[in-house]
Amino acid sequence: MDFMTQVVASFGLLLDPTILFYVVAGFLIGTVFSAIPGLTATLALALLLPLTYSLDVTTALMACASIYMAGMCGGSITATTINIPGAPSSMMTALDSYPMQQRGEGPLALGHASFASMIGGVFGAVLLVLLAPLIADLSLLVQTTGKCALILFALIVIVIAQRGNVRRAAIAACLGLMLATVGLDAMVPVARFSFGIGDLAAGIDLMPVIIGTFAISELLTQLAENDKARRIREQLKGVAKIRRRDFIPSRSAIRRIGAVCYLKSSIIGYLVGTLPGAGGSMGGFLAYVEAVRTSREPYSFGKGNPQGIAAAESANNAVCGGALVPMLTFGIPGDPITAIVLGVLVINGIQPGPQLMESQAGLIAPMLAALIFSALILIPLTMYLLGPYFIRIVRIRRDVLFGTIAMLAVVGCYVATYSTFQMMMALVMGVLAFYLRKHGYPVVTLLLGFILGPGLEEYLRRALTLSNGDLTVFVAQPDSLFFIVLTGIFVYFLAIRKPVQLRGHESAT
Amino acid sequence: MSRLSSSLLVRALGSGAARFHGVLALLALGYLIGGLAMGPPHEAGKLTPSFFPLLIGVLATVLCGLQWWSAVRDTTADAQAQADASSKAVTKEGFVPDRRISPELTLMLATLVYVLVFQWLGYVLSTLVYVLGVMLLFSGLDKWLSKGAIALAITAVGFVLFNQIFNVRLPTLWG
């Protein structure tokens, strides 16, 4: 059975009430978390991670997929209603949806955002289903030196993607790599940096790193910004009541936006998603810029043009499909969410990489089916059914919300190993990540450094051992040479010769 | 003048950013020294376990060192600008440092205590107090009784979720 047939067959799993419950619950949690400014779907996934120990891995991956999709579109709720994007991916959406809200067309703006998210999400996921097996076949050609050069490429691109913050991003990546070296060496049985602590000899678990970096540090950050959040809640109180019938965009409005706009933005989003570190905000930004560039009425953007909302939202949801490509085919996550999905696989003893699509297609296919289901059914359904109540949901009491998050985060670490050591590790990581964030360090590079570190070390040592320490092996092998040239191209265009759009994006962020 | 610049440098070294970058630089240096203590990176034609830590250690030390120096330089420039501005309007009132413990630090300490007593006090009691503490930190001390009831409900939901639905054995007060 080929991969596409397996994905189609996997839709049948959604008829199982338990699986459907987790997928729908995941989607709702992802929507609420991404709608609340400051919280993200990454945090929702980090909190779910400990539960995957007890959940069936297929169900866990399907829930992860729905949270991911929800996380990309939920941010448009507060972006539209109070001009504060709930998630970075909806930054460009706010430019046109908020002026529509001011004109009394907020629900319609949310309807456009929802429709575009649906198109982009489905397009990205279908493209992933079609292309992932081909890329997985190609990835089998990559040998040890190539794998080393590929991981290095991913790390360098993730670092230089943190524009204006490259040195701090590099330091955070180094910290992640340093943490990854704690514990037994993979090739020689020698404990490194364990300081005689038995629990450290086995290395630092991925889970406390994820919980600490994204949940505990978020708690501390939110506490530090408590007054700001209170002001946002006050703003939300002034938002007018939303009626269900106002959500649905008219056919003529969709025709005015045009199929080309949806399609082009989805392709841009998908391609941006395949790049490590780029993410939904970059996808939305580039698609928006392209929509303005090719529009007959460029002056109308930023004043409530639904085309701007459509471009940004279809692109950021198409990112989901693109971002899963490097994770599934090479085992290289490009953003925190795919890193956590990778964590779910690793926790369950599944090694992502070129063989994954072939050996574990039965696990991956349901996840992609859930991704398509979330985009096609859950996005419009949630908006229609829960849209009028979104503002009330987003205004949830912060003390109740963070009390629950604190409990889930800390106890969640205990669940994995029945050891308070993991809880302590999560706290240490949380405090470190909090101070790093406070001083402008992107913690995502720390996490990706931690995840990619062991692979980088293993392949580098193997490659150098096989070539007797000859570094020219990296340019002599075609696969590694390809990634080295690719790294050079990215460094040139992203770090040395910045395109005009990126400079604009930097000043906007 | 030189006294002014040296005092500015001292202030810069003591600033939050410079201190943090300094701590990171020291951590990186400590890691590098740990790597060196593991032995040579290359032995008998093979790369040893110290090879990668040394590589990362050197890179991290250089980057952290540069970041620390740039933080000191920036803070010195800021302090200079502040000194210039304040010299025009000198007041007799001295600078009064804020000696209150920040809520973030309180939350860190609360979490530390929670982790330490979790096994000993059991899930229910320790979680109830911790969740209530977090809630009070976020919303103040008023209506603490109703917050206590909500904390109890959150603790109960957590218990049902972990213990009943996911079959995780949580610690109890009686072992």
| pLDDT tens for each residue of chain B, 175 residues long | 455 566 666 665 667 788 899 999 999 999 999 999 998 988 877 888 999 999 999 999 999 999 999 988 887 776 666 666 655 554 444 455 555 788 999 999 999 999 999 989 999 999 999 999 999 999 888 888 999 999 999 999 999 988 888 788 888 876 5
Whole-number Cα distances in Å, A470 to A206, A277, A301, A334, A462: 33, 31, 55, 30, 12
Rounded average pLDDT over A466-486: 89
DSSP category for residue B94 = P
pLDDT at A173 over 90: yes
The answer to whether position A509 is within a domain reads no
Answer for the pair A279, A89: CB distance below 8 angstroms, yes or no: yes
**Confidence grade of residue A509 (pLDDT, cut at 50, 70, 90):** very low
* Confidence (pLDDT) at B87: 57
Q: Which residue has the higher pLDDT, A290 or A507?
A: A290
Instruction: Select the residue of A411, A464, A468 nearest B127 (Cβ to Cβ).
Output: A411
Answer for the pair B71, B17: CB distance below 8 angstroms, yes or no: yes
The answer to whether position A27 is within a domain reads yes
| CA nearest to A32, candidates A74, A81, A87, A76 | A74
pLDDT at A263 over 90: yes
Answer for the pair A455, A151: CB distance below 8 angstroms, yes or no: yes
Amino acid sitting at position B107: L
Residue A286, SS3 per DSSP: helix
Lowest mean pLDDT segment, chosen from A232-246, A415-429, B62-76: A232-246
B148 alpha-carbon distance from chain centroid: 28
> Do the chains contact at B107 and A219, CB–CB below 8 Å?
yes
Whole-number Cα distances in Å, A173 to A201, A496, B25: 22, 20, 14
* Confidence (pLDDT) at A174: 96
Instruction: Select the residue of B115, B138, B166 nearest A410 (Cβ to Cβ).
Output: B115
Residue A184, SS3 per DSSP: strand
Contacts of B112 (CB under 8 A, 6+ apart): A427
Lowest mean pLDDT segment, chosen from A227-241, A347-361, B42-56: A227-241
The answer to whether position A480 is within a domain reads yes
Percent of chain A with pLDDT over 90: 30
The answer to whether position A349 is within a domain reads yes
Q: Which residue has the higher pLDDT, B77 or A177?
A: A177
- pLDDT per residue as tens digits for the range A477-491: 898 999 999 999 988
A469 alpha-carbon distance from chain centroid: 37
A54 contact residues in B (CB cutoff 8 A): 165-168
Interface test with A, best of B21, B23, B47 (most A CBs within 10 A): B47
> Do the chains contact at B166 and A55, CB–CB below 8 Å?
yes
Helix, strand, coil percent values for chain A (each to nearest 5) = 80, 0, 20
Count Cβ atoms below 10 Å from residue B141 Cβ, excluding itself. Answer: 8
Count Cβ atoms below 10 Å from residue B20 Cβ, excluding itself. Answer: 18
Residue B46, SS3 per DSSP: strand
> Do the chains contact at B60 and A420, CB–CB below 8 Å?
no
> Do the chains contact at A407 and B57, CB–CB below 8 Å?
no
- pLDDT per residue as tens digits for the range A74-122: 888 878 877 777 777 788 888 898 898 888 888 889 899 999 999 999 9
* Confidence (pLDDT) at A206: 86
* Confidence (pLDDT) at A446: 93
Which residues, listed in sequence order, are joined to residue B47 by a DSSP beta bridge? B42
The answer to whether position A503 is within a domain reads no
Residue A478, SS3 per DSSP: helix
Which residues, listed in sequence order, are joined to residue A191 by a DSSP beta bridge? A184
pLDDT at A313 over 80: yes
> Do the chains contact at A403 and B127, CB–CB below 8 Å?
no
> Do the chains contact at A461 and B107, CB–CB below 8 Å?
no
Q: Looking at CA atoms only, how far is residue B47 from chain A in angstroms?
A: 6
* Confidence (pLDDT) at B7: 64
Please compute Rg for chain A using Cα positions: 22
* Confidence (pLDDT) at A274: 86
**Confidence grade of residue A240 (pLDDT, cut at 50, 70, 90):** low
* Confidence (pLDDT) at B12: 58
* Confidence (pLDDT) at A137: 82
Answer for the pair B48, A188: CB distance below 8 angstroms, yes or no: yes
Length of chain A: 509
Q: Which residue has the higher pLDDT, A186 or B25?
A: B25
Q: Tokens for A141?
A: 């050609």
Count Cβ atoms below 10 Å from residue A168 Cβ, excluding itself. Answer: 21
Rounded CA separation A93/A110 (Å)? 10
Q: Looking at CA atoms only, how far is residue A403 from chain B in angstroms?
A: 5
Report residue A386: phi and psi, to 5°. -100, -10
Q: Tokens for A420?
A: 């308070």
The answer to whether position A501 is within a domain reads no
Percent of chain A with pLDDT over 70: 95
A460 contact residues in B (CB cutoff 8 A): 52
Residue B42, SS3 per DSSP: strand
- pLDDT per residue as tens digits for the range A208-230: 898 999 899 989 998 888 777 77
* Confidence (pLDDT) at B92: 47
Answer for the pair A329, A135: CB distance below 8 angstroms, yes or no: yes
DSSP category for residue A191 = E
The answer to whether position A416 is within a domain reads yes
Rounded CA separation A440/A162 (Å)? 11
Answer for the pair A38, A222: CB distance below 8 angstroms, yes or no: yes
Lowest mean pLDDT segment, chosen from A252-256, A339-343, B28-32, B73-77: B73-77
Please compute Rg for chain B using Cα positions: 25
Contacts of A328 (CB under 8 A, 6+ apart): A132, A136, A352, A356, A357, A364
Rounded CA separation A315/A72 (Å)? 10
Rounded CA separation A463/A473 (Å)? 8
- DSSP, residue by residue, A75-112: THHHHHHSS--SSGGGTTHHHHHHHHHHTT-HHHHHHH
* Confidence (pLDDT) at B3: 54
Rounded CA separation B159/B175 (Å)? 16
Rounded CA separation B139/B150 (Å)? 13
Angle, CA A319 vertex, CA A50 and CA A92 arms, to 5°: 110
Answer for the pair A144, A456: CB distance below 8 angstroms, yes or no: no
Answer for the pair A273, A323: CB distance below 8 angstroms, yes or no: yes
- Going A105 to A107 to A108 to A109, the CA torsion angle's sign is positive
> Do the chains contact at B53 and A181, CB–CB below 8 Å?
yes
Rounded CA separation A479/A402 (Å)? 47
Q: Tokens for B76?
A: 């010195």
- In chain A, how many domains are there? 1
Give the E-state strand segments of A137-202 in sequence order. Answer: 183-184, 191-192
Q: Tokens for A317?
A: 């949801």
Instruction: Select the residue of A181, A193, A414 nearest B118 (Cβ to Cβ).
Output: A414
Report residue B43: phi and psi, to 5°. -145, 130
Q: Tokens for B1?
A: 């003048």
Q: Looking at CA atoms only, how far is residue A485 from chain B in angstroms?
A: 22
> Do the chains contact at A223 and B162, CB–CB below 8 Å?
no
Rounded CA separation A321/A121 (Å)? 7
Rounded average pLDDT over A29-45: 83
The answer to whether position A389 is within a domain reads yes
Say yes or no: ipTM exceeds 0.90. Answer: no
Rounded average pLDDT over A241-262: 85
Answer for the pair B16, B6: CB distance below 8 angstroms, yes or no: no
Its domain, for residue A90, covers 1-236+246-496
Answer for the pair A385, A77: CB distance below 8 angstroms, yes or no: no
> Do the chains contact at B155 and A404, CB–CB below 8 Å?
no
Rounded CA separation A130/B115 (Å)? 47
Average pLDDT of every residue of chain A: 86
